[in-house]
Amino acid sequence: MYLRLLLQAFFLFLCLLCSVNSSHAEQAETRLSDSHILNVSSLLPPTVCNRNSTRVPSKASLEVVSRYGPCSYINKGKAKTLNYSEILLKDRSRAKYIQSRLFKLKHSGSDDYLLKQKDYLTVGTKPDISAGASIEFYITASLGTPGQRVYLLLDTGSDITFTQCTPYLDCFKQKTPLFDPSKSSSFSVVPCTSSACLSDFEPVCNKAHQCIYSQSYGSGRSSGVVATEKLTIINRRSGTFVKYPYIFGCGGNNSVDVALGGATGIIGLDGFPASFISQTSQKYFSYCFPSSYSSPGYITFGRTDDDKNYKFVEFTPIATSSTPSVFYDIIVTGMAIAGEQLPVASSEYSKSGGIIDSGSTVTSLPPSVYAALR
């Protein structure tokens, strides 16, 4: 029944196209020959991952996969994909979370202010979909000696990398064993007196004088000890990348609401000192998410000669200010459709500002800009 409705909708779409073409007299004789043969199987969700369909542009690139679809290592195509309504709901929750953080940082200068605010300034006491769970794409890495595999969601709006650890007070569901520090010879807890704790985090200590992190993700949070460990990232083309010591959060108290769809944690990619970008001294990075669940994408660290080979790639500067931003700010000055500028003043774009966010699917616009675009 579902397939029949899809086919009916498709044929209705073709009929609409034909009716549009019929308004052009010069095309009247040729419109009957306009056709497209469609395989019925293309209407169904993909069941096979074609990793060769994506050309990874550089040896400095890593495979990025969606939590959904057959390319996912953690869900193996068994996770329920989101429909359009769920995607919009997810993005709405994510947007509210981002706006909330920006508002609080503007009025307090610190994310620690999140802990002290009333509910009317937060995303909500119980959003439909958590901001953490809205992140879809992840990389595979290894922590410890010997290495223990972790699956980390890419988040350009987070700084510290965290993964769930054992022992724990609370944790969300994940498909693989939790990271066990007792099985690693390179694990070390960061003391409160260390420069890493004093410069990268609010100086919060537990009774054992260990450095503590606490990260908010909209409808939940992750907290635990700050530690150093050996981080190993495997590239199928160029071997391995190792960073030691790498500062990360060993999450022992993780809100159930921050369910990450089988992933073990988040890798922070913002510009703050504790992020992966800052710790590895990367001045450039780029990512390409797949347009289909049947293929992977990639993330590239560093600027390579391959950038010149892609003529469709354009660059724009990231806006900077004296006060570091949690997000990657871009300056939008206007929009054009088929070469025609929208009748919107440039101030309408600058009032709202713009960011690039790896956890959002849909491009969101201010109401005045959206009205003109529509």
Residues annotated as catalytic are: 155, 357
Query: Given the structure tokens 């909500």, which residue do they identify?
Result: 124
Tell me, rounded to whole angstroms, the distance of Cα 162 from its chain centroid.
15
Nearest residue to 174 (alpha-carbon basis) of 254, 97, 262: 262
Distance CA 38, CA 327 (A): 42
Amino acid at residue number 373? L
Distances (CA, A) of 228 to 18, 51, 105, 181, 279: 63, 33, 27, 11, 12
SS3 labels along the chain: CHHHHHHHHHHHHHHHHHHHHCCCHHHCCCHHHCCCCCCHHHHCCCCCCCHHHCCCCCCCEEEEEECCCCCCCCCCCCCCCCCHHHHHHHHHHHHHHHHHHHHHHHHHCCHHHHHHCCHHHCCCCCCCCCCCCCCCEEEEEEECCCCEEEEEEEECCCCCCEEEECCCCECCCECCCCECHHHCCCCEECECCCHHHHHHCCCCECCCCEEEEEEECCCCEEEEEEEEEEEEEEECCCEEEEEEEEEEEEEEEECCCCCCCECCEEEECCCCCCCHHHHCCCCCEEEECCCCCCCCEEEEECCCHHHHHCCCCCCCCCCCCCCCCCCEEECCCCCEECCEECCCCHHHHHHHCEEECCCCCCCCCCHHHHHHHC
Query: Given the structure tokens 């890419």, which residue do they identify?
Result: 154
Rg of the chain over Cα atoms, rounded to whole angstroms, equals: 23
Output the six-digit token pair for 121.
């300034």
